[in-house]
Each structure stands twice: as C-alpha cells, then as structure tokens.
Amino acid sequence: MVAAKKCPDAPSFSLNANAELVLAKRYFRKDLEGNALEDASGLFRRVASAIASEEGKYEQSPYTQDDLAREFYEAMTTWKFLPNSPTLMNAGTDLGQLSACFVLPVGDSIEEIFDAVKHAAMIHKSGGGTGFSFSRLRPRDSRVGSTGGVASGPLSFLKIFNTATEQIKQGGTRRGANMGILRIDHPDILDFIKAKEREGDFNNFNLSVALTEQFMNAVENDEEYPLLMPGTNEERGRLKAREVFELLVQKAWESGDPGIVFLDRINRDNPTPDQGEIESTNPCGEQPLLPYEACNLGSINLARFYKEDAEDGIDWPELRRIVHLAVRFLDNVIDASRFPIGLITENVRKNRKIGLGVMGWADLLYRLRIPYDSQEALNLAEKVMGFLREEARVSSRILAGERGPFPAYASSIFARKGMGPYRNATVTTIAPTGTLSIIAGCSSGIEPLFALCFTRNVMDGDKLVEVNTHFEHALKAADCYSPKLMETVAAKGSVASLDYLPEDLRRVFVTAMDIEPIWHLRMQAAFQQHTDNAVSKTVNLPNSASVDDIRRIYRLAFELGCKGVTVYRDGCKSVQVLSTGDGAPGAGADSGLHTLPRPDLVYGFTQRVSTGHGMMYVTVNEIDGKPFEVFATIGKSGRSTTAKAEAIGRLVSLALRSGIEVEKVIQQIKGIGGEIPVFQQGKHGQIQSIPDGIAWVLENRYLASQHPDYRLNGLGKQHCPECDDTLVFQEGCHLCPSCGFTKCG
C-alpha cells in the first residue's frame, strides 16, 4: 500500500453504527489475513491526502496541499460530500483505480468481441462496472463473409460476457455489474426484449433497449418501423411499433427488465459529438459515455444543508462552497486515477468528465416538511439542481483558468456556442448512492425513503428496529412516539394507513410505495432538467400495478425529457407469469401447464444428505441438463418418514415435469422447519427437514452459479447473501439497507 501523507490537524467526527459496519467490511484497507490497517479517520485522511496531492501539479492553484487536504477531509467527515466507492477504497493505494463507471465498445468481429470481454474483466478486477452496446453485432443467422458461416447474434455473445463476469470478482470482493443495450431497430430486438423471461438468465446484466424518436413517433401514429442491418443500415424487415412497445411494457411488468433509454435525447446532450455517438451507459444508466470512456462521480448530501432561518430552509452559501470544493476534488481524481487500459486513460483525460450529484433529498424534504409527491417539492428540486449545476460550471471555468480547459474543448458544443472554457466536458450526474448514503447516514440519491423503520438482523439472532431520525423527531414533537408504534411502523414500513397519527405528519412522511408512480417520474424529470448526464431513479410500483400503469410511465418519461426510465413492480420476480413458447403470457395453469412424458432412459446423480431422521439419498434425473424428476429415500426409517420422503419427491417431480422452474420449487420447500434439525457440512448450515434437504441438493446443483449474490425466500423477497436481511430495489439496483451489500457499487 502506498503510504498516504497525514492530513494535518484532522478533527474527530461521529460515525453511525451502520456506517462503521459498512466501512469496516468494504472500505478499510486490510492485510493478507483480513485485518484492518486503518480506521475511519485513517481512511478519510488517506483519501483526502492522496487527492489533494495532485494540486501540486498546478502552479496557479490558490491552495497549499495541506490546506486542501484539510478541507477535503472536513467535507467528507461532516458527511457533506463523498466521492464514489472506488475512490474511497483505492485512493492512496497501489491499485489507484478511482472510477466507478466505464463503457466499452463491442465491434462486429471475433477479435473485437473478445477484446471487450478481456477489457471488461480487467475493469471488474479493478472495481469498476461496465456498459456495452451490442447494436453493432450482425443479427442471428446472417452470413459471415470471411467464413461463409452464419452469425450467432448479440444474445449468444451476451451470454459469454455474462459467464465471464461470473469468474471475476469486482475489486476482489464481488462480481461486477454490467449494462447491455440494444437498439430498437436491431433485427434481433424481439429476442433481446424477452432475454430475461427466465429468472437467472443474464443475472450479471441490467438490460435496456435504446429507443429512438423515430420509433416513439411510430408508436404514437400506430405505424411500422424498419429493422436495420448494423453497419450498412440496409432494411431487414419491418415491425409494428405499438406491438413491440407493448412487448416492452409487458416484460417490464413481469420482471422489471429490460429498461429503456432514449438514445436521440442522450446524443443531443453529447458535449463532444465529433468523437462519435454515445451508444451505451454505465450499469445503472445514469452515465452515458463514449466508447472507452469513464467518469468519476461524487455526491453532495443535501440533508446537511438544512438551515431553519435561511431562504427555502437551505444554506445556499455553504452549498456553493461545497460544490466548488467537490468539483476540484473530482477533477483531481482524474489526475490521480490509474486505469487498466491505455485508451481509457487517453479518453478520460481528453474530456475530463465528472459527475457531481446529490443524496439526502428525501431527508431534506422531511426536515422542510414538504411532501415528496407535491408541486412544492418539484419546484425545489429544479431550484436546487439548477443551482448545483450552475455553480459546478462556474467552478469548472475557474479550474480552466488555473489549469486549462479539457483538451477536446475546442471542438466541443461549448466552444461552438461560445460557452466556457470549461475544465470538464460534463459536471453533473445523479448516481446511485446506496452504500455512500449508509456511510453518510442519509436517504439514497433522490429516492424517497423505502421505509421509515426497518428491522435489522444483529448478532445471535437478535433484531434491532432502525428508525429514520427525522421521523422520530417529528413523532416526539407531536407527542406520538412509542416503542410499540415503532414496531407497527417497522412491520408496515409506512404510516399512510395509521389514521390515529396527525394528518400533516402522514402527508409529509411518505415512502416509496405510498407515492403514485407519476410523482416518481416527475421528480426524476425535475432533476434531469439540470443534469448534464442522466439520473439514477427507480419508479417503484406496488405489486398490484397494471400493465397500463407502466405504459403510461414509459410514454410520460419520453414526453417529460427523461433520458431513460427503470420501473420495478414489488415482488414481480417471484410472481412472473408462465409464458408460452413465443413469450406471450399464458392464460394460467390450466392452459399453460403440460406434464412432459417420461423417456425410457434418463440419467442423473445421487446426493447423500444428513437429516434428523437419518441419512437421506436424493436422486435427481435430468433431461438436457435440467432436473426432470426427484426420488428421496431414507434408510432405516419408519414407514411414515419413508412415505413423507417419497411423497415430497413425487410432488417435486410433478412440478418439474410440468415446466415449473427449479428455482420456484426451491423457494417453496427451502427453510421448512422440522423437529430434528442437523448441521450439514459446507455453507448451508442446518438441514432443517426432509424438504429442506431436497432444496439444498437442488440449489447446490442448479442455482449456485445463477444466483451467487442473493437468494429468494418463499415469499419472493430477495435476501442479502451476507447478512440475510431483505434487499430493496432502488436506483436501478438491489441494496441491503443493513450491511450495504449491492451489486452495483
């Protein structure tokens, strides 16, 4: 590890319990035995000193390195500003890769495709996430001129990227996140839209369809639109735009995938069009980038700028100071970063894109007593983000005076319009802040709170009720607080239905599921108006939401000027409808379920499992690598136990032969308790019963590689693989509010 210069006179600071846990588990530098080499103060000193040391390259800087390190340290440890996770983890270390998001090109040749796979592996290893457009690849079954063969199409290569990601742990700790994008006019678009019909497929990718304005106009006018051959733009067929749009909506209703991005709108805001078109975004969609480009991100905690006697309740002068400090910090990060690929280093330093965003928005609204779903909140969102971007651009102009503009400035849209000069081609992005917001003790990004209270698992099976600080203070001020009420709110997650609480309190303290979808979208659009790049935001929907609801969201996102949209219907992963062979929703069990006949000869395996009733032998026979039937026998047990094992095996076999996915079967029988649990060797822990033992065999065989990062319980809730608490879906990614686990950084 590179020795970091000590940050002078570093003051002490307070750290909440969740932040301490997350920092110790994910951010502290450790030795080979896993022992921490630093504490929280040491981490922030390391980061502040490493980033401030870049200031010495610029003679016109108004700061000494020591003074700047002190200011950076103070901004981070008062939780007013935090950089993205790779900067916190790697600044001042030998790795030195400080950016979170990258986009790599995927060209239409074997050499280019596997170069992209190799480069993605290098980026994941260093702690970054990657975005790809597969739109350049020729469609399935088209001729390959060099060999006379036929192409296998984008989806076949997407599988290769997904499999490669399984083998590389991001930053040595977790698997990397990816974004896969395909244009709506690609000939294989229908296959792409249906790619995640089966849960577990492409589990290391977020998928989005790139919609064009031509397509959206064709949807509006109920017209056909052309499918175009990549590279030549030769027409390869036509589709009814509304039918394709309806398929998109249906799949989003079923599983949340794929999302959508508006490609023409993204490229209208491309500051350097002479360098090419933007084809893709980073994994959570908030950062459109050119091929071989990266962006380093940071977020300002708006909750820390509440000031009761100030205009709008916000300390605008202090916000201005922190914005300018954060822009300087992020520009220094570009100089400090060591990228794994030379082309990325070249493009990053050519355009010097940064992405300053916000977190703590919901907390600020709570303190101001403004409902999230109100026009007052939208007006304030536009004012805050407009102020932030304007001050960030002022700061970028100041840096350009000290250090020179970004090298590609002369050919940028800013030079053409007589704007600038700027040090950075972009300055604002609203990125996911899942773990950052836990460290800062605030709400995530611009999302509403997912729950006012939640129950957190702690050691020895105990549970601890975590309460939002502002909600707790409001309850005490209204003389409504009690531990029993907290338990009620933790169970419900919301106070919307608690009529005995004051109406104004229930109106202000709304949560994600209390808010109508239209307000989620309007809030995203309000922030997007003043964001150079894009906004990471999830439109959370109740399980009861209809296909019509999602259709309206998609259309309105286009009308309001969003650059993309992600929807997530609560529990949709667990209740995804059965589909017919062509992907259309089945009419139900009676019409869509057919039991396959048993061939004369099948092959399988037998697994021995210890149970409280003795040793159980589970035989699973397969067809085409998938489980087809299950037999369970227990030696030397009574007839009743033997009968139970046989009955469970028969019912599981019936489900599998009827086309029900093995994951669904596991969800139903895993964790069923018995009177004599026993410990099984390996990671599973206890085998609680005969059905739980069968679930263990099936899960180890068929799901170990599909879902390495989380599991589903019988109710369809996704659980954290590290602390077992329930994950929430926000900002385009699953997040554990207890320990900070997330696939998306």
Q: Which residues are catalytic?
A: 282, 284, 286
Identity of the residue numbered 501: L
State the number of CA atoms in the 13 A half-sphere of 277 facing the CB: 10
Instruction: At 453, give phi and psi (nearest 5°).
Output: -140, 150
CB atoms within 10 A of CB 410: 12
Residues 6+ away with beta carbon under 8 Å from 32: none
**Do the beta carbons of residue 414 and residue 271 sit within 8 Å?**
yes
The whole-angstrom separation of Cα 431 and Cα 129 is: 13
The whole-angstrom separation of Cα 556 and Cα 174 is: 36
The whole-angstrom separation of Cα 743 and Cα 724 is: 15
First to last CA, the chain: 22
DSSP state of 54: G
The whole-angstrom separation of Cα 704 and Cα 553 is: 36
Identity of the residue numbered 703: L
Cα–Cα distances in angstroms (integers) from residue 628 to residues 491, 654, 689, 699, in the given order: 39, 9, 22, 14
The whole-angstrom separation of Cα 277 and Cα 105 is: 11
Cα–Cα distances in angstroms (integers) from residue 170 to residues 75, 119, 125, in the given order: 28, 13, 5
**Do the beta carbons of residue 178 and residue 168 sit within 8 Å?**
no
Which residue reads 């009574």 in tokens? 638
Which two three-digit tokens encode residue 395? 């700061």
The whole-angstrom separation of Cα 702 and Cα 694 is: 12
Residue 160: in which H helix or E strand, if any?
Answer: helix 154-167
* 363 closest CA partner among 79, 729, 14: 79
Residue-by-residue DSSP string for 507-529: HHS--GGGS-HHHHHHHHHHHHT
Q: How far is CA 434 from the centre of its chain?
A: 9
b/e per residue, 572-602, with b = 16+ CB within 10 A? bbbebbbbeeeeeeeeeeeebeeeeeeeeee
Residue-by-residue DSSP string for 483-500: HHHHHHHHHHS-STT-TT
The whole-angstrom separation of Cα 48 and Cα 738 is: 27
* 239 closest CA partner among 210, 265, 253, 219: 219
**Do the beta carbons of residue 244 and residue 397 sit within 8 Å?**
no
The whole-angstrom separation of Cα 4 and Cα 708 is: 35
Asked if the bond preceding 421 is cis, omega within 30° of 0, the reply is yes
The whole-angstrom separation of Cα 453 and Cα 415 is: 50
Beta strands 614-623 and 288-289 are unpaired
Helix (H, G, I), strand (E, B) or coil at 566: strand
